[in-house]
Chains A and B, each alone.
Chain A
Amino acid sequence: MKPIIPLLSLVLLLASAMPLRAQGNKQEPQQPQKFVALVEEAPKLTFFQGFTLSADVFGVAQRIFSDYATFEGALRLNLKNTFFPIVELGFATCDSEDANTFIRYKTNAPYLRVGVDFNMLKDKFQDNRLFLGARYGLSRYNFDISGPPIKDPVWGGSEPFSYTDIATTSHWLEIVVGVQVKVWRNFHMGWSVRYKREISSTKNQYAKPYYIPGFGTTTQTTAWGASYNLIFDLNWGKTKHTAREVTLTHRPLQQPTDTTSVTPSDSTLQQPQQQ
């Protein structure tokens, strides 16, 4: 046991000497280490993102399989890639004759829709969009209606059935659901489905309008519509991806006795500098 005692004494001596050395090193406090990191902030969208021009090709193609067609263009504002106030202007034609009654209805007239779309996608930065929107539609038009002569089955006699230029104004509302996907650069394509409800049309004793430009046929007070749009995004504003510089200081675990060289501002996060 005796030879061990001097060895333990030596170890204790060395161990007790180490704190003294550390105390001696605090005379020159360690300079805070600064780390500068670029922390990307959540990107921001400017309010006005530009506008969009679009043309509907479905209405034109409709002429192939029906008696009516529409030629429609739209101008749409882009607000924060979320809200899209829109004006749709079109021209509709209808020349329809019923196969059983031989009653012919004809009109050619412009129409106007105004409304707003809402981009339902959570990620507002992507170029694809899922829309839910509403429209108010208006059309002032004249229509012609004609048919076989009217014959009185009891008293006899007949009279031609033909009325022209019946002036009418129609109003309606629409709910729009649609998608739009980026095809190439600012060129997008998209489709929409519309549910329309007629609000009112000018009353006329001779005939009810069979086809309202921009609304469609009036076999019911409601109608369905669809569009396939070629869309050109004309970006006005840019999406802003901002970053800030964050300065971090490395702080010792134990509070130094001499704090003269370490200022509070150095020991905390510096205020971010906005680019």
Chain B
Amino acid sequence: MTQPHSMINKGQGAIICALCFVLSAMSCSSNNCPLESTVTCNYGFYDANGTAIAYNDTLTITTLLPGTKTQYTYQLFGHRTITSDVRIDSLLEKGYTETVSEVRRDTILGNRLAGLATMKLPMSFFSGRDTIILRYASISRRDTLYIQHSSFSNVDLPECGTHRFHTLTGIQATDAAIDHVEISNANVNYNGSENIRIYFNGIATEE
């Protein structure tokens, strides 16, 4: 008397069970848009020898925008020069002289930042050159960074929206407090890697 053939023997059944388990386990991974999806150009601060530092001066960072604006400058002998985007009649009553000029528009990217070791700044979407101005609290001069780059739009997943990535092509800087600058990673995206190194004058000392 022959035994009826089972459709699947034990070994095959075990393989199928193991396969189902593996496949179901693999399906547990999740789909996420990047948690940090802001595209910024990341700067690192170094001393002249290349040691990473926290810059102990207070920095105000501005950038030039397209177009011009009317700027009012008030001067009085023995007093600090005052600039404003709007007319200040009270200063005229105090004896200040007013100078009206057309200057490039600008905006503040970082205001009175102290002890910076790194900074993250946006880049222009449609301009090939950004001008970043660094004003120091302890130095009257200021430094200007000129950053050349190309930009392109990128979609990773439609649900994550559009991002504007950049590729750095060149950088120059003035020398008020900056020794030199260099591009460390030309690809500017949202992965957080350092893109530009700013080497300040002087050598860091251990405290």
A-side residues, CB < 8 A to B, are 96-98, 100-101, 103-105, 120-123, 128, 130, 132, 145, 147-148, 150-157, 159, 161, 175, 177, 193, 195, 205-208, 210, 218-220, 222, 224
Contacts and interface: CB of A to CB of B under 8 A. Distances in A.
A157 B159 contact: no
B90 interface: no
Interface string B102-131: 000001010000000000001011110000
A207 B161 CA distance: 11
A157 B161 CA distance: 18
Given A120-B8, A152-B125, 9 more contacts: A105-B158, A123-B7, A154-B122, A155-B124, A155-B126, A159-B125, A177-B19, A193-B23, A206-B153
Contacts of A224: 27
Contacts of B23: 175, 193, 195
Contact of B165 (A121, A147, A205, A222): A205
Contacts of A150: 125, 153, 162, 164
B42 interface: no
B199 to A, nearest CB: 26
16 contacts: A98-B159, A100-B161, A103-B158, A120-B12, A122-B7, A132-B19, A145-B155, A151-B125, A152-B126, A155-B65, A155-B125, A161-B155, A175-B23, A210-B155, A219-B157, A219-B159
A220 B125 contact: no
B157 A210 contact: yes
A130 B7 CA distance: 9
